[in-house]
Amino acid sequence: MSVSTSKYNEIIRLYDSKRLRIYHDKARIQQEVYSKVPRIKEIDDAISSLSVSTAKKLLLSKEASIHDLKEQIAALKSEKEALLHTYFPDSSLEPEYECIDCKDTGYIDNQRCHCFKRKIIEALYEQSNLKEILEKENFNTFNLRLYKSDTIDSATGLTPLANISHAIEAANDFINTFDAESKNLFIYGATGVGKTFLTNCIAKELMDNSNSVIYISAIKLFDILADNAFGRGSADISAQYDNIFNCDLLIIDDLGTETVNTFTSSQLFNCINERYLNHKSIIISTNLSLADIRETYSERVFSRITSNYTLLKIFGDDLRIKRALE
Ligand SMILES: [Zn+2]
């Protein structure tokens, strides 16, 4: 799991402020109780001084007097309980917690609470560039009916439906083994056959499992790499540059739509290679065929992709037209 440091610090600050609010709420409630029933304050003061005495006796191993002190504390506690019950029968006397499970500390038994994990996932969505689209494009909205089962692709011998079903299986395998292995996907095919939709499905599943995902179009990717290489990097560019190399999954969409030159070619290899060496996954989606990749970029890029990527060719009708007609 990795959100940017600044985002992580923001979440930590959020929990600090929650804890502070709870602290003040508790103090306010205690004040209300004391002013209504002053005896309760006397009891609390007595309990804390007896507790100090108990601790001292413990150090001196005076078993008999410890027993006596413990009995006094227990008696005071039950007197306090009875008073609270009499004077505040219907009040909880607890602050209003946003998360009752961790009482807004973010931790349960030194483990992160689900509310803290949720905050991390929200942050992952924020930084992914995919927040809005994933509500519409995910496995629950994937429509297999858009793929034909009555035509056969001559190259593979498969119908578009059988082929996409195989691709979804491969996508699920990618998701299920994501934490254990660093795999990569190369998803290629004509415009509008559902490549980006499939990568969005994968992105959502992985982010919901607390992995950081960055979606970036090839055009934008090379802009950021160039800005960084030529020293035009603002703080924002530098954060985006870090994300490209450090996120758990990088999705490069529409590879080949950028202006290709020797710079982009070498930057693409650096990016692919560095992530490969750091065991970090990439999904590339592109209209280019493998032959195009070899011709457009370099032998090194071609070789990395063919040896380290699962190749998924998607074919079928242009779904954008089909969806519009539905
Ligand atoms: Zn919680």
Residue 235, number of CB atoms within 10 A of its CB: 8
d(CA 319, CA 326): 10
pTM: 0.76
Domain extents in the chain: 5-112, 129-325
Instruction: Note residues around ion ligand 1 (Cβ under 5 angstroms).
Output: 99, 101-102, 113, 115
Q: Between β-strands 281-286 and 184-188, what pairing exists: parallel, antiparallel or unpaired?
A: parallel
Name the superfamily (CATH) of residues 129-325. P-loop containing nucleotide triphosphate hydrolases (3.40.50.300)
Q: Are 97 and 26 in contact (CB under 8 A)?
A: no
CA of 117 to the centre of ligand 1 (A): 9
CA of 26 to the centre of ligand 1 (A): 18
Q: Which amino acid is at 275?
A: R
CA of 122 to the centre of ligand 1 (A): 15
Strand locations in the chain, DSSP E? Answer: 107-108, 111-112, 184-188, 213-217, 249-255, 281-286, 309-313
Report the DSSP beta bridge partners of residue 313.
188
Q: Are 207 and 114 in contact (CB under 8 A)?
A: no
Phi, psi angle pair for 96, to nearest 5°: -85, 105
CA of 224 to the centre of ligand 1 (A): 37
Q: Are 113 and 101 in contact (CB under 8 A)?
A: yes
What 3 state SS string does 147-205 have? CCCCCCCCCCCCCHHHHHHHHHHHHHHHHHCCCCCCCEEEEECCCCCCHHHHHHHHHHH
The per-residue pLDDT string of the chain (326 residues; one tens digit each, 9 = 90 and over) reads 467 788 889 999 999 999 999 999 999 999 999 999 999 999 999 999 988 888 887 777 767 678 888 899 999 999 999 999 999 888 778 899 999 999 999 999 998 898 998 898 888 888 888 888 988 999 999 888 888 888 898 888 999 999 999 999 999 999 999 989 899 999 999 988 999 999 999 999 999 988 889 999 999 999 999 998 888 867 777 878 888 998 899 999 999 999 889 899 999 999 999 999 999 999 999 999 999 999 999 899 999 999 999 999 999 888 776 666 66
CA of 29 to the centre of ligand 1 (A): 22
